[in-house]
Structure 1
Amino acid sequence: MLAKQLYGTLAPEVFFVGQLVDDGIAGKEPLYIYLANRIRGVTQLDFNLTHGLPDNSQDNFAWRKTLIGDMARFFALSWKSPQLVDPSYRNRLRQTYTSELQLLLTALPVRFHAITQSCIDSVDAILSLPMVFLHQDFGVCNIMVDETTCHLVGVIDWAEAEIGPFGLNLSALESLSGKLHLRNGWSRYEYYNILQDTFWDTLKKEVGDIAEDDLRTVRLARITGLLLTYGFTSRFANDPGHVPIGGDEQGRYNMLSLDGFLINPETRFEGLN
């Protein structure tokens, strides 16, 4: 499995067992069966629930700083191992990103139009970044940490992973430096800036010199990934089409994240006008 080749012990060993086919249902795809070895440690969510300290406590700060540094080293592994893709694959990504961003441009409230258009205009630049193996569900339930130190020990659930431009899934790191409140939206921890600096400084140290233009493009890729993730009701690979968020509960939840990261002056990403 590619994840194991790239990330070593941080990814599980996966074995193909076989497939089940139901001949009684025409057109039904077979069910493929895989086994994966267990990654040691606990999920980040379980770690947080077990310790249960105040968000801005010194212990939580130390644990999160440890983890976000490890996450930078994890992402650096993908930057240093770019995947070769043919022009037709890159062109398909260009068409997909552009068409879905165009859909969001008409579906999302007007306050998101400028940043969405900026991402559309930057698709070619984003696709010039290293093409890497992207984990598509990089959340607290799939990040495995040491029970005591909170060091990263693994990442699980690679089922939806795909090759795409570096940075497209970086918005997932915001959960390490802030918190979503269902009533008030996103808020930053008191040490937000230190955590963000830790990530970017560690990433640059691990991959070597990154040009400022490339860093700006990576940040645009992060915004693009955020829009493509939170702007739709579902992102499952086998869905026939993606539907922009609406006024239901999931739409409200996703909109809180979009507003927090892209609009609210107190919590939006750095560098947004």
Structure 2
Amino acid sequence: MAAEPKDSGVSFAPFFDRCKLPASVKHDCDTFVMTRYSETARPAPFQGYCSYTVFVGEEIVVQFRPLAHKLDISITNTACKIFGPLAPETEFLGELGSTGLYVFSMRRIPGVSLADLRAETKTLQAKSRREQIVRDFAYLQATSWRNGINHSDVREKRMVGSSLRWRMELMTKNIPSRFRGIARSVLADLPEIEALPWTLSHGDFLPSNIMVCPESGKLLGLLDWAEAEYLPFGVGMYGLQELLGEDKDGHFVYYPEAKHLRNLFWAELLSKVPELSQNSKRVALIRKAQILGIFLWHGIAFDDGKLDRTVEEGKDDEEIERLDAFLLSRSGIRPLKLRHIHPIVDSPIAFIRDLLSGKACC
């Protein structure tokens, strides 16, 4: 889903202003932490859009969140059960007086954020680290597949899962016209996509939420599970695009080895889920579910969590640029040829064109 930029540095005012809270509430948050814990506490140097975060010692994180961005403990517990140490154990500590803020503690995940790692000037190991994170993303998806459940067994669909058709219908009408043909193609196959196993998707797979080992690039964990929910398998693969390139001077640019990284992901995934390698039709459907994920996360405007309108030219240009890059651009991808596609080696644009022309593998 399209999200506004994260707060940076040590500026805390924007979060409290967005929550319409006086500046004194920050003191109340800090006092709550100091009263509860004996270890040294300090505000996190980089604050998220949806919370005020405090580090306690070296192993504990305390977050204060408004109702709209409250963590669901049942979801965070499920994430820990499925993904182990990649998801932080989380405890609900209660409400902070009458402020409307909910307080959570969680295990601090080691490493550095992928955003911080990319900001480094050293590039000697950049390619190997990119390969490592892509392999680990494939492992993450394979793990979710092994823990998938039937569509009918999803007890409670959340904001996105309960409105897939409505959102895609909205985009076929209102999204910039160059994307509508692809949106209609996804909408036509939505019943089959929804019949795939439903798996827990993180929901906010951004470089600032991805913790990695700075030396190897190994995935160590994911922060901020507030938007996690069960969705058809493949939808969460929208996050792969964020690993194939990065923002340069305000524009998304694919890495020179983007095609190699994409192929590496599919090779790793199919090696970990061998039953998929024998079913090219299902792989094609999963890749279309990935396109659905790209639409859901970049075609719907965030609007402080409302998620009820499509992105618009001149208003949501950052997200529209990502749709151009992810759905229409050849950047970092080999030249296109309309042909019978192979599920591992072809680019998303070739796949999309074949879907629209009826030439996708079956």
> TM class, shorter-chain normalised?
0.7 to 0.9
1:35 pairs with one of 98, 105, 130 = 105
SS of aligned partner of 2:203: coil
> Does residue 8 of structure 1 match 2:78?
no
Q: TM-score, normalised by structure 1?
A: 0.85
Q: CA deviation at 1:2?
A: 0.7
Q: Which residue of the partner structure matches residue 352 of structure 2?
A: 272
Q: Which amino acid aligns with 1:153?
A: L
| Aligned 1:99-110 pairs, distance under 5 A | 99-110=166-177
User: For 1:114, which of 170, 178, 181 is the aligned residue?
Assistant: 181
**1:64 positional shift:** 0.3
Gaps of at least 5 residues in structure 2 are 1-76, 334-346, 354-362
Structure ranking higher on relative contact order (CA contacts 8 Å, 6+ apart): 1
Q: How does 1:118-197 map to 2 (within 5 A)?
A: 118-181=185-248, 186-197=252-263
Is 2:157 the partner of 1:77?
Answer: no
Letter in 1 for 2:126: N
| Partner AA of 2:309 in structure 1 | V
Aligned to 2:11: none
Please report the TM-score for the alignment, with normalisation by the length of structure 2. Answer: 0.66
Q: How many residues align?
A: 259
The corresponding residue for 2:318 is: 253
Instruction: Name the counterpart of 1:232.
Output: 300
Label 1:93 to 1:149 Cα distance change in 2 as closer, same or farther (>3 A).
closer
Q: d(CA) in 2 for partners of 1:164 and 1:115?
A: 20
8 Å CA contact 2:158–2:229 kept in 1: the answer is no
Instruction: Give how far 1:95 is off.
Output: 6.2
* Contact 1:94–1:127 (Cα < 8 Å) also in 2: no
Please give the secondary structure, in 1, of the residue aligned with 2:129: helix
Between structure 1 and structure 2, the one with the greater Rg is: 2
> Structure 1: 5+ residue runs without aligned partners?
24-29
For 2:26, the equivalent position in structure 1 comes to none
SS at match of 1:149: coil
Cα deviation code 1:119-144 (max 9, x no counterpart): 11111111111111111111111111
Say which SS state the counterpart of residue 133 (structure 1) adopts: strand
Which runs of structure 2 are paired with 1:48-59 in the superposition (5 Å)?
48-53=118-123, 59=125
Q: CA deviation at 1:15?
A: 1.2
Overall identity of the aligned pairs, in % = 27
2:285 matches 1:220: no
Q: Is the 8 A contact 1:39 1:144 kept in 2?
A: yes
Quick one: distance in 1 between partners of 2:156 and 2:107? 31
Seen in structure 2, the aligned counterparts of structure 1 residues 227 and 188 have a Cα distance that, compared at 3 Å, is same
Instruction: Note closer, same or farther for the CA distance 1:153–1:101 as it changes in structure 2 (3 Å cut).
Output: same
Q: Would you say the 8 A contact 1:144–1:156 is kept in 2?
A: yes
Look up the match of 1:67: 133
Alpha-carbon spacing, 1:263–1:13, altered in 2? closer, same or farther (3 Å): same
**What stretches of structure 1 move > 6 A for 4+ residues in a row?**
90-95
Distance in 1, matches of 2:304 and 2:144, equals 23
- In structure 2, the CA distance between the partners of 1:234 and 1:110, relative to structure 1 (3 Å rule), is same
